[in-house]
Amino acid sequence: MNNNKDLKNKWLKILDILSKQFNDGQPLDLENVIYLIGVQELGQTEKKFNKEQKVDLMHIAICRLLEPSGFYEFEYTDDEGWPHYKVINKLPNLKSGEQTLLMKESIINYFIEKELIQ
């Protein structure tokens, strides 16, 4: 995804959709989106999560988002339904802005795959 304008437009579209659906139209940030993806991947959308579980959900989301890029691979689902991933390739050392860009691109690709956006 080379076009910065295209990336920005798709990112804003995702934020708009999710903000309306999950936050009464109030803007969400990158961490909120990652958390929502974790909940989606776990599939336990009605459950209340404690602080540790919320961190675990964000980890699930990051693994799932970076799986197509070859950084993680799905390993198994445990008895409680939580997915587990293994590291395939170590993430490169990225500056904060580069990390944000990588995550936004991965999120956009995730939502294209899920057919939420084109």
Question: Model's pTM, two decimal places?
Answer: 0.92
Query: Would you place residue 1 in the very low, low, confident or very high pLDDT band (cuts 50, 70, 90)?
Result: very low
Per-residue tokens: 55: 């961190």
Whether the CA torsion 52, 53, 54, 56 is positive or negative: it is positive
Domain that holds residue 59: 4-113
For 43-71, what is each residue's pLDDT tens digit? 988 889 999 999 999 999 999 999 999 99
Domain-embedded: residue 94: yes
Total count of domains within the chain? 1
- pLDDT number for residue 2: 53
Domain-embedded: residue 118: no
Contact between residue 84 and residue 76 where contact means Cβ atoms under 8 Å apart: yes
